[in-house]
Amino acid sequence: MKEIQNYVNKLKIGSVQQYENMAVAPLMGKDSKLDYLVFDEAISLGLNVSETGSVQSLRFSNNTDKEVLIIQGEYVLGGKQNRMVSRNVYMAKDFDGEVPVNCVQQHRWSSGMGEGRFRSSSKRAPRELCFAASISQGEVWNEVNYLHANLEVRSETANLEDAYDQKNDELSDYLSNFGYEPGSVGVVAVIQKQGKKVYSADIFDRGDTMEKHFNKLLESYAIEAITGGEKAEQNKKDMTKFLGSLKDCNFNEQKPISLGRDFTIMGNNIQGSALLYNKTNVYVTFSTKPERINTGPGRRSGRERLRPDISMFNPNIPSGRFGTGFRRGLFGGDEQ
């Protein structure tokens, strides 16, 4: 998709910031003239989110007077379960309809915990959960449990939020070493782990939109980085090469949730998505594809086979038993 590739190619990489095994560089560009709200703003100004009765969809009613940008991985707290938005959305002013989501809190299906009303979160799901969302709900639950096991996090409801909460001190150490660069419309990040480099890029059409998402994005990188690794290298050449890899990717257009043109991005070692509106690149995100064995019907991912015993860290899962759905009787209803 030339419009997206050309936009990314024109961005300039700024000064690299580095801490431990993570390095981040700003991407400098020009602002578009679009005027919209981001999710955190909109939900406090009239955007209503409600249950549909399905795990994998929520109803959004935009009662603000502006369009709304919601990026994939936005974390939505409340309702019967916490969810993450699974698609990028550029929402019309009068939009009233369903938006696809994935559950990131497996062992709860009740609003009787003071969580009846949905609200936005300061968190964004990490890249591996965003990729898992393109496979299945079960794979999203697999990734949440894998993350908990890898970080030695305990969570009674297998809640993604618990990983961020219990690792707050380590995450704060990372975030305190990075700051938003005025004028930047995006960032490119590299994490050094297990002898390999993991790249991510998140790019918006405006600097103020990037600034509003900055801490949320940095924390989603850092939750992956805190598992440890060699000190990251401050290498602009490698970052430039990663951004340039977009030219070898396939762009597959799909029906948008609301306004604009919605694309998935796939390459040999790259995955991501992009959202355009009136020829403006509102949001482009792509990253190194997570390593996994191909998952098809009846097959478990390589992560699931190789992960440590999840029951060590999640007391709700009996030792030797792992499931990707709700068990009848335990939650007072049918499997979801």
Whether 298 is in a domain gets the answer yes
Has residue 244 been placed in a domain?
A: yes
Which pLDDT does position 63 carry in this prediction?
Answer: 95
When pLDDT is averaged across residues 81-99 and rounded to a whole number, the result is 95
- What is the average per-residue pLDDT within 313-336? 34
What band does 325 get if pLDDT is binned at 50, 70 and 90? very low
Higher pLDDT, 176 or 141: 176
Banded pLDDT at 38 (limits 50, 70, 90): very high
Ranges 31-35, 190-194, 296-300, most confident: 31-35
Say what the pLDDT of residue 284 is.
98
Q: Is the pLDDT of residue 11 over 80?
A: yes
Nearest to 222 by CA among 163, 285, 294: 163
With a cut of 50, say whether residue 314 has pLDDT above it.
no
112-141: average pLDDT? 79
Question: What pLDDT score was predicted for residue 326?
Answer: 33
283: β partners: 204, 275
Q: Which residue has the higher pLDDT, 303 or 193?
A: 193
Q: Give the pLDDT mean for 200-217.
A: 97
Query: Between residues 36 and 79, which one has the greater pLDDT?
Result: 36
H-type alpha helices, the chain: 2-9, 39-42, 127-133, 137-151, 160-166, 168-175, 207-225, 236-244, 302-306
**Whole-number average pLDDT of the chain:** 83
Tell me, yes or no, whether 141 lies in a domain.
yes
Look at the chain and report how many structural domains it folds into. 1
3-state secondary structure at position 60:
strand
User: What are 325-332's contacts with CB under 8 Å, separation 24+?
Assistant: 325/138, 325/141, 326/106, 326/107, 326/109, 330/107, 331/107, 331/108, 331/109, 331/110, 332/110
Angstrom CA distances, 195 to 149, 228, 243, stand at: 21, 11, 21
State residue 109's pLDDT score. 54
Of 146 and 218, which is predicted with more confidence?
Answer: 218
Residue 55: band (very low, low, confident or very high) from pLDDT cuts 50, 70, 90: confident
The verdict on residue 69 lying in a domain is no
- Judge whether 86 lies within some domain: no
User: What CA–CA distance (Å, rounded) separates 232 from 58?
Assistant: 39
Q: What is the pLDDT of residues 275-311, one digit of tens each?
A: 999 999 999 999 998 765 343 343 344 444 333 333 3
Of the pLDDT bands very low, low, confident and very high (cuts 50, 70, 90), residue 71 is very high
Each residue's pLDDT tens digit, 215-254: 999 999 999 999 877 787 778 999 999 999 999 999 999 9
The answer as to whether 83 is a domain residue is no
Mean pLDDT for the stretch of residues 300-328: 37
Question: Would 113 be classed as within a structural domain?
Answer: no
What per-residue confidence (pLDDT) applies to 276?
Answer: 97
pLDDT at position 79 is 84
Residue 192 lies in a domain: yes
On whether the CB atoms of residues 80 and 105 are closer than 8 A, the answer is: no
**pLDDT band at 104; cut points 50, 70, 90:** confident
Residue 290: domain span = 2-35+126-306
